[in-house]
Structure 1
């Protein structure tokens, strides 16, 4: 479970779409405040998902090969296949030269286009819910009586938020330098967004499929 959560958390924090939106949020007037609201909303979604799963399981993992355990593994398999399919779909769009449809992040670039309220709304809208769903299916196996499992859940939330936290802190301690760096990062991500989305989804999808198939057949 721990390794799976680390892999999912890494994929979430590297997913480019929320990162691009967050750059525009913190670069706007009162960006540090809006960025903090974005992060709090982002974390609240992660904590809420984990809390719902823990409430369902009672903090005790299901027995191996039991119906709940098998169901969680099947859900993980389906999500993994879905991520692979999404990567294939994005790749086909690139090859066809289809127009970019990821407009939520770019709409925040208009002057005055982002407010504190919209920053709070953007976070859940841009959260990669397929990956968060995979994390939820993994958390089914968490044993809250084990301090290591509890630590893994905390680390997952922090890891999945680490890129946003790093950008927020850079704007707090060195705003001018951070603004230049983040502007360059946004430009780079805009040019390389599709390969990044495809790569992250494909790699995580392959990981989830291989892990769930191994668990289902062992």
Structure 2
């Protein structure tokens, strides 16, 4: 469970679309407060999902051969396969776009960030949450055993790592507000140019890992 959760958390924190949107949020007017609300809403989504899963399981993982355990592995397998399919689809799009001599234009969800309210940032965090990856994390949390103290540490680490890039950007804006805006906007421009490649790599790596692990556990 530990390795799976940390890998999923790493994929969440490296997802370029939420980070690109967050850069615009913190670079806008009242960006520090908007960024804080964004992070709190982001964390709230993760905590709610984990709490719902633990409520359903009672903090005790199902036995390995129980129907519930098999169903969870089947769902995780389906999520893994969907990541692989989506990653390959985006890779083909990228190859086709390069053949045409231009990169694909990703949708812009944050063009009105400067005029948005603080509370709109909370809704944006929910909208941009990579729910497919969060769902993969939820299927992994099913095997969490709350009778062990280390489980709480792993769940805390999952939430922290999933938000690490957002927290780092927020701290940078707080500690160095003068330099932060220009540098973060340059970072966003670089990320936009490499967004498609990052999505392909993250989806394929995470997808193949979840697919392979689920198949192994189902057939072992």
**Do both proteins adopt the same fold according to a TM-score greater than 0.5, normalized to the shorter chain?**
yes
**1:217 to partner: Cα distance:** 1.1
* Residues 140-199 of structure 1: per-residue CA shift (max 9 Å, x gap): 000011111111001000000000000001111111222232112101111101001111
**Is 1:43–1:157's contact at 8 Å kept on the other side of the alignment?**
yes
Counterpart Cα distance in 2 of 1:70 and 1:46: 24
* Residues 38-75 of structure 1: per-residue CA shift (max 9 Å, x gap): 00000000000001000100000001111111111111
Counterpart Cα distance in 2 of 1:69 and 1:100: 41
Look up the match of 1:133: 135
TM-score in terms of structure 1 length: 0.95
Look up the match of 1:60: 60
Look up the match of 1:72: 72
Look up the match of 1:154: 156
Look up the match of 1:13: 13
The structure 2 residue matched to 1:108, chosen from 105, 112, 116, is 112
Cα root mean square deviation, aligned? 1.3
Look up the match of 2:214: 212
Counterpart Cα distance in 2 of 1:216 and 1:102: 38
Counterpart Cα distance in 1 of 2:136 and 2:37: 25
Consecutive unaligned residues in structure 1, runs of 5 or more: none
Look up the match of 2:28: 28
Aligned residues: 215
Counterpart Cα distance in 2 of 1:108 and 1:51: 33
- Say if 2:186 is the partner of 1:181: no
**1:101 to partner: Cα distance:** 4.5
SS for the counterpart of 1:62 is: coil
> Which aligned runs of 4 or more in structure 1 are off by greater than 6 angstroms?
none
**1:124 to partner: Cα distance:** 1.0
Look up the match of 2:121: 119
Look up the match of 1:167: 169
